[in-house]
Every structure is written in structure tokens, then in C-alpha cells.
Structure 1
Amino acid sequence: MLQLVDFVIRNRFFLVFVLLEVLSVWLIVRNNSYWGATYFNTSNYYVAKTLALSNAAQEYAKLGEINADLAHENARLHAMLADVTQRNPSDAPVGYVPDSAFASRFSYTVAKVVDNETTKANNVITIDKGLADGIQPGMGVISATGVVGKVRFCSENYSVITSILHSQFMVSSRLVRSNEIGYAKWPGKDPSVIDLVDVSKYTKVFKGDSAVTSNQNSVFPPGIMVGKVEHVEVHPDQTFYNIALRLATDFRNLSYVYVVQNHQLGEQEKLKSRTVDQK
């Protein structure tokens, strides 16, 4: 208290000056219509600016919650789209009626990326969902824009994904316009470009054509984007194209992914193992 009194005494002239200045401004604004209007317009402008900044800060703070909500909504839409696509396949012959359980066999779990590699020859991704969330090794992983990879290891609360940017990862892919099937495989260089191999040179390949996951795949639903044809080349002594795809997924900015569960995968694998045992 004594320090406050001492401060007032030492700065009394300055404080009186400030008080008189404030009083003068108030009298001018109160008794002069022009300066009064100018004051209120200016004050309203800065109040509006302050409110806009405050609202922007609050919206920014909620971006994480908004992104999570959008990720869950995308998972629901992915499930609906896969179901509709399987129930009404565009390339099915007349009279084909898909089994309802087969059409709805895929479900999706939203996960957040907590670690992501893009600069190595064999890149992996870590997500915040594991065995406790029903995640199992072998499940496919996609993003809102395309294929991401496949679950390799799981702990109780985390999973490691073999990224599509991995030298040993391949995914069966179909060119939409030519309907030709090949395998997408990363050459280990640019994390935004992947090769499409085993596409016969005797079919027409169009630059800009989309490559999507094919029906010959038990891990990913058909029709998930892999990339778009950026470069096509063929040598006279080869029977296959050299095709470069621009990846649909931007791995440098990967935040949320969707782990794909095929509820009939176990049945498919069990049946295949019987054929192998009998060879």
C-alpha cells in the first residue's frame, strides 16, 4: 500500500496530465457531433477487429476436434460407398446378384498418425490404434484420398503400418479407362510417384488415367484411388509398359487414416490354404 501511495506521489503531475487529457477527449466527443461520430465509428471498427481475432483463435483451437469429426464421417461414407459399389458392380454380367454379406464385408476404423516416414527405402507409419481397438496385422489402410499401406505389427494401443512407400509392398491396381490390371510398386525415390508394373504394352494406356484398387484384392475395397498416370514409356524389347503414377495420397501431410477390416478375409484365406495343402 505504501508503495502505491509513493508511486502516486512521485508521478502525480503525470497522472493529473493523463486525467485531464482523458477528460478533454470525453468533453470533445460529448459536445461535438463530428468528433463523437468519428470516435464511435473508430471504436466500433476496433471492437469488430478484436471480436474477429477472438473468433478466429477459437476456431483454430477447435480444428483438431473438427478434423476428427470429419475423419469419422469419412469412415462412414467409405463404408456406404463400398457397400453400394459391391451391390452394383459396373462390370458385372447381366443376371449377377452379389451376396449381401459379401457386399457389406468391409468396415473402417479411424486412426491418427503419430509417426510417419517418407525418406527411407522402406517407410513405415505408426497410428494410435491397436489390438484394443480391433486392429490386426494384415488389415489394409487408406486415407481420405487413396491407398496408404497395410498393418504389419500391433501392440495394445498402437500399430505399425507398412507404407505403400516400401520396397516390398505391392497392391493390385486397375486402370479405369483401359480396365487393365497391374501392380503398384514404389521404386524408392520420390514419395509422390509410384510405378505401375505388369501392364501389357498391347493395350492402350492414357496419360491422366486413374489407377484404383482392383477386384482381385482381399485387403482393400475395389475402387480406392492409388494415383494417376503421369508418364508412360515402352521399350521395343519389352512386353510391359513403364508407367509412373502420381500418388493420390500426400504422405508428407498425412494426419488421419482408415484401417480397413474385411470380415470375410479369414474365410477366404482358410479356403485358399486348403488348395495349397492339396498341391
Structure 2
Amino acid sequence: MLQLVDFVVRNRFFLVFVLLEVLSVWLIVRSNTYWGATYFNTSNYYVAKTLAFSNSAREFTKLDEINADLAAENARLHAQVTSLTQRQPLDAPAGYVPDSAFASRFTYTIAKVVDNETSKANNVLTIDKGAVDGVKPGMGVISATGVVGKVRFCSANYSVVTSILHSQFMVSTKLVRSKEIGYAKWPGKDPNLIDLIDVSKYTKIFKGDTAVTSDQNSVFPPGIMVGKVQNVAVHPNQTFYNITLRLATDFRNLSYVYVVQNQQLVEQEDLKARTLEKR
């Protein structure tokens, strides 16, 4: 308290000067219409700027929460779209009615990417969901834009996913326009590009054609984006195209993913194993 009094005493002339200046400005604003309007507009401008900055800062602190909400909404929409497309397949013959359990067999679990690789020959990523969340090895993983990979290992709270950017990973892929089916396989170079192999050259393929997961796939729902055709080449002595796709998923900026569970996968795999045993 004594220090405050001492400060006022030592600076009393300066403080009186500042007080008189403020009083003078106030009197000018009150008695002069022009200066009053100028003060009003200027103060409103800076108040608006301050409020805008405050709102931006507040929204920035909530980005994680907003992203999580958007991811949850995307998971719900993925489930709805998959179920609808399976109940009413566009290329199904007249009279075909799929079983309701088959149409709704895919469910989605949201996960956040906590570690990611893109520069190796065999890349993996780690997500923050594991066995306690119902995640199991063999489940597919997608992003909001396309295919990501397949779960390889699980702990209680984390899972390691084999990325599509892995030399041993392949996914059955269909070209939407031509209906041709091949396999997407990464050549181990550019993380934005992937090869589409085993597509017959006796059909027309165009640059920009969309490639999605095919129906011949028990891990991924059909119709999930893989990429778009960037280059098409064919050699005279080959019966297949050399096709390069630009991946739909941007692996360098991957934040949230969706673990896909096929509720009928065990039944499908058991039946397939029994078939192989009988051969």
C-alpha cells in the first residue's frame, strides 16, 4: 500500500496530465458530432476485431472436439450408405433381394492415428483402439476418403495396421466405368500412387476413371474409394494394362480412421476353408 502511495506521489504530475487528456477527449467527443461518430465507429471496429480474435481462439481450442464429432458423424453415415447400397445394388438383376443381415453386416469404430509411416517399403500405422474396443486382427481400416489398410496386431488399447502402402498388401479393386476388377498393390515408391494390376487390356480404361473396392471382398465394404486412374499403358506382348492410380487417402495428413468389422466374416471364412478342404 505504501509503495502505491509513493508511486502516485512521485508521478502525480504525469497522472494529472493523463487524466486531463482523457477528460479533454471525452468533452470533445460529447460536444462534437463528427468526432463523436468517428470515435463510435473506431471503437466498434476494434471491439469487433477483439471479439473475432477471441472467438477464433475459442474455436481453435475446440478443434479436437469438433473433429471427433465429425468423425462420429462420418462413421454413422458410412454405415447407412453401406447398408443402403447393399439392400439395393445398382447392378443386381431384377428380383434379387439381399438378406437384411447381409446388407447391414458392416459396422464401424472410430479411431485416431497416433503413429504413421509413409517413407518405408512396408509401412504401418498405429491407432488408439484395441481389443477392449472390439478391434481384432484382420479387420479393414478406411478413412473418410478411402482405403487405409488392415489391422495386423492388437493390444488392449492400441492396434497396428498394415497400410495399403505395404509391399505385401493387396485389395480387390473395381473400375466403376468398365466394371473391370483387379488388385491395387503399392510398388513402394510414391505414397500418393499405387498400381492396379491384372486388368485386361481388352476393355477401355480412361484417365480419371474411379477405382473402388469390389464386391469380391470380405474385409472392406464394396464401393470404398481406392483412387483415380492417373496413367494407363499397355505393352504389345502383355494381356494386362499397366495402370497407376492416385490414392484417394492422403496418408501424410491422416488423423481419424474407421475400423470396419464384417459381422459375417467368420462364417464366410469358415465356409471357404471347408470348401478348400473338400478339393
- What range describes the TM-score normalised by the shorter chain of this pair? over 0.9
Residue in 2 aligned with 1:109? 109
Residue in 2 aligned with 1:247? 247
Residue 29 of structure 1, CA deviation: 1.3
Find the residue that maps to 1:182 and give its secondary structure: strand
Task: Tell me the amino acid that sits aligned with residue 112 of structure 1.
Answer: K
Identity of matched residues, %: 82
Task: Tell me the amino acid that sits aligned with residue 50 of structure 1.
Answer: T
Residue in 2 aligned with 1:146? 146
Q: How many residues align?
A: 279
Task: Tell me the amino acid that sits aligned with residue 74 of structure 2.
Answer: N
RMSD between aligned residues: 1.0
Residue in 2 aligned with 1:43? 43
Query: Aligned partners of 1:146, 1:211: CA distance in 2, in Å?
Result: 10
Residue 228 of structure 1, CA deviation: 0.3
Gap regions ≥5 residues in structure 1: none
1:33 aligns with 2:33: yes
- Superposition pairs for residues 77-226 of structure 1, below 5 Å? 77-226=77-226
Residue 58 of structure 1, CA deviation: 1.4
Task: Tell me the amino acid that sits aligned with residue 162 of structure 1.
Answer: T
Find the residue that maps to 1:211 and give its secondary structure: strand
Task: Tell me the amino acid that sits aligned with residue 175 of structure 2.
Answer: L
Find the residue that maps to 1:238 and give its secondary structure: coil
Find the residue that maps to 1:70 and give its secondary structure: helix
Residue in 2 aligned with 1:66? 66
Residue in 2 aligned with 1:265? 265
Find the residue that maps to 2:173 and give its secondary structure: strand
Task: Tell me the amino acid that sits aligned with residue 85 of structure 1.
Answer: T
Find the residue that maps to 2:92 and give its secondary structure: coil
Residue in 2 aligned with 1:231? 231
Residue 35 of structure 1, CA deviation: 1.3
Find the residue that maps to 1:230 and give its secondary structure: strand
Query: Aligned partners of 1:164, 1:191: CA distance in 2, in Å?
Result: 9
Query: Aligned partners of 1:85, 1:30: CA distance in 2, in Å?
Result: 69
Gap regions ≥5 residues in structure 2: none
Further displaced range: 204-213 or 94-103 = 94-103
**Could you state the TM-score of these two structures normalised by the residue count of structure 1?**
0.97
Further displaced range: 10-19 or 250-259 = 10-19
Query: Aligned partners of 1:191, 1:256: CA distance in 2, in Å?
Result: 18
What's the CA shift string for 1:2-28, capped at 9, x where partnerless? 222222222222112111111111111
Residue 116 of structure 1, CA deviation: 1.0
Give the ranges of 4+ consecutive aligned residues of structure 1 lying more than 3 Å apart after TM superposition.
Answer: none
